[in-house]
Amino acid sequence: MQTLLISGPGGAGRSTVAAATALAAARDGHRVLLLSADPGEPHAALGGEPAGDLAEAAPGLRAVPVAGGYRVARVDPGAGFREEFAALQERGSALLGMLGARPLGAEELTELPGAAQFALLRALRRAAAAPATDLLVVDLPPLHQALATLALPAQLRRYLARLLPAERQAARALRPVLAQLAGVPMPAPWLYEAAARWDEELAAVQAVVEAGTTSVRLVAEPGPAAADALRTGMLGLALYELGTADLVANRLVPRDGADPWTVSLAAQQDEFLKDPPGQLPVCRLPHLGRDPQGLQDLAELAARAAGGPLAPGTPPQRRPWPVEDRTAEDGVLVWAVPLPHARKGDLDLVRRGDELLLTAGPYRRIVALPAALRRCTVSGAGLADGVLRIRFTPDPGLWPRRDGA
């Protein structure tokens, strides 16, 4: 299955483009599932009238078929939060009873901030396992929020590994004895069991996000503000190693309009398209003169797409950050990290053990060092042509000598 994540600056028409993409792919003969975070009825804005009843698309995920020939599944943050909180209460019922706490009923629960992100990730994991599906189209939130959501699985797994190390679970049988000897309560088994379950679910979502069959489609309404937002967002995409397939330039106005405002807007859009951020392939969609609604408008957008089809092609190939061996010439190894649109003042890096803390603009990522670089010390870094090159000097105490001694 191929997964296409659709995001972009707020207000650019992401949901409309996601639906038009799903329609175009379905008409090309693909079996398409569209995952939407729209709080309303998904079929109302994403393909017209339903062509059937809600049915299970994957375990824990229901979808409705629409007249366009694809299925739409809606993320429900409230239901997901209630389900997860009820399960957590049940697992910790013994502890809650000891504390005299009264469990909350499902009807009392309202979602907390952040629940929407976790609900989207859970739905993404379930949708990626949907049978009889060739293409999963995901209508993500605006770009900055989408990047924060997609980065969550790897970040949370790292926190879990540090706070509840797996190797400590081996001593589970000794906890009662240790608690009596030390007089200190030990973590309850259910806590480690919950952590293991969370790690398993997060790993499954992370595998979907990082898969070679997953790519990002950006949607923007061309203009100076969009260019700035895309450059910042693409810096985050590069830092998190998320493959970007193309850019959809949405709501393009005709160049031959008589209205001065339209002429000025068309000139701004043309300037944007001369040098699009990242030099991505660009698919151009016209402004229909109205807000697209229903199947007919979506079909018109797909038919009038220029510069490239709306139906996605082969995902771009992902290449790991290369390590260049310059020990013979300069005595260093160089780790090349592509960061397009980065500026020197936006970058920072810190070495901690076998990890590198990388900051690029508003984004931050902790990455494990390749095996060869763990035996080196960081000796400098430089940014040129959109690539951050980090120099590592081999540690003589850890690096084998060339003479074999």
Average pLDDT, the chain: 84
Q: Which two tokens stand for residue 20?
A: 């038009």
What is the arithmetic mean of pLDDT over 374-391?
95
What is the arithmetic mean of pLDDT over 46-64?
78
Q: Is residue 401 very low, low, confident or very high in pLDDT (cuts 50, 70, 90)? A: low
Q: Is residue 181 very low, low, confident or very high in pLDDT (cuts 50, 70, 90)? A: very low
From CA 360, how far away is CA 389, in angstroms rounded? Answer: 14
Among 135-144, 152-161, 167-176, the least confident range:
167-176
Higher pLDDT, 199 or 219: 219
Tens digit of each residue's pLDDT (9 = 90 or more) over 107-155: 666 666 677 888 899 999 999 999 999 999 999 999 999 999 999 999 9
Half-sphere exposure of 297 (CA within 13 A, CB side): 18
Q: Which two tokens stand for residue 131?
A: 């049978």
Tens digit of each residue's pLDDT (9 = 90 or more) over 208-225: 999 999 999 999 999 989
What is the arithmetic mean of pLDDT over 75-81?
69
From CA 254, how far away is CA 286, in angstroms rounded? Answer: 8
Does position 85 have pLDDT exceeding 80, yes or no?
Answer: no
What pLDDT was estimated at residue 262? Answer: 85
Does position 317 have pLDDT exceeding 80, yes or no?
Answer: yes
Q: Is residue 197 very low, low, confident or very high in pLDDT (cuts 50, 70, 90)? A: confident
pTM (predicted TM-score): 0.87
Dihedral (CA of 156, 160, 161, 163) sign: positive
The set of residues, in sequence order, having a beta carbon less than 8 Å from that of 285 and lying 6+ positions away, is 17, 20, 248, 249, 250, 251, 252, 301, 304, 305, 310
Does position 302 have pLDDT exceeding 70, yes or no?
Answer: yes
**Residue type at position 203:** A
Among 21-35, 244-258, 321-335, the least confident range:
244-258
What is the arithmetic mean of pLDDT over 342-354?
93
Higher pLDDT, 135 or 277: 135
Higher pLDDT, 239 or 53: 239
How many Cβ atoms are within 10 Å of 167's Cβ, its own excluded?
Answer: 7
How many Cβ atoms are within 10 Å of 122's Cβ, its own excluded?
Answer: 20
212 phi/psi in degrees, rounded to 5: -65, -15
Domains of the chain listed by start with CATH number: 2-78+110-303 (3.40.50.300), 323-394 (2.60.40.790)
What pLDDT was estimated at residue 374? Answer: 93
Does position 45 have pLDDT exceeding 50, yes or no?
Answer: no
% of residues, the chain, pLDDT over 70: 80
Higher pLDDT, 302 or 398: 302
Higher pLDDT, 384 or 60: 384
Does position 285 have pLDDT exceeding 60, yes or no?
Answer: yes
What pLDDT was estimated at residue 184? Answer: 47
Among 187-196, 244-253, 294-303, the least confident range:
187-196
Higher pLDDT, 109 or 352: 352
Does position 43 have pLDDT exceeding 50, yes or no?
Answer: no
Does position 405 have pLDDT exceeding 80, yes or no?
Answer: no
% of residues, the chain, pLDDT over 90: 55
What is the arithmetic mean of pLDDT over 248-262?
85
b/e 147-156 (16+ beta carbons within 10 angstroms → b): bebbbbbbeb
What is the arithmetic mean of pLDDT over 193-221?
91
Q: Strand 347-352 and strand 355-360: pairing?
A: antiparallel
